[in-house]
Amino acid sequence: MVCLHVQDNMHVIRTEDLSHTVTSLQALHWQVVRRFQSGDCGDRLQLLGSFQRTWTKRPASSAREVFGAQLRQIRGCSVAASLAIMNRFGTTAGFVAALRGMERLAAEKLLAELQKEGKSSRKIGKAVAQRIWMTYMTNY
């Protein structure tokens, strides 16, 4: 190790070269493995298990599920609104293909007039339709 210091509340290790970095990482890895195998971890093992459950890769989502998740990130686009759009267009590719040939105002009007899924008969609305159009269509 050439230098160890704290920067932005993180320990930073500067090494001589790449091979020294690899050697240091291998040594650190085996130290952690030995510590867990010896059982000298206490509550840390529970924290590791929690971390692994939280960040484990999950099966791939369908294109439709990804599209819905994307839509719900747009301010004002509720689950009911995203379902209405997904039911109309299916996936992101279908959505973009359908709106690509339309004028902006016509596309926004089409989106605004879509009826939200569920018991209410509310429509998506102009403001949310504009945000959705801006998110997906400004680069096309």
Q: What pLDDT digit, counting tens, does each position of 70-88 carry?
A: 999 999 999 999 999 999 9
Residue 139 confidence (pLDDT): 74
Residue 2 confidence (pLDDT): 60
Mean pLDDT score across all residues of the chain: 83
Q: Tell me the percentage of the chain whose pLDDT exceeds 70.
A: 81
Determine the number of helices (DSSP H) and then strands (DSSP E) in the chain. Answer: 7, 2
pLDDT tens for residues 114-123?
999 887 789 9
Mean pLDDT of 9-23: 81
Residue 71 confidence (pLDDT): 94
In angstroms, the CA 107 to CA 103 distance is: 6
Q: Which residues pair with residue 11 across a beta bridge?
A: 6
Task: Quickly tell me which residue has 């971890």 as its tokens.
Answer: 41
Distances in whole angstroms, Cα of residue 133 to Cα of each of 22, 86, 103, 107: 47, 14, 11, 8
Rounded to 10 degrees, the C-alpha dihedral 110/115/121/126 comes to -40
Full-model pTM: 0.57
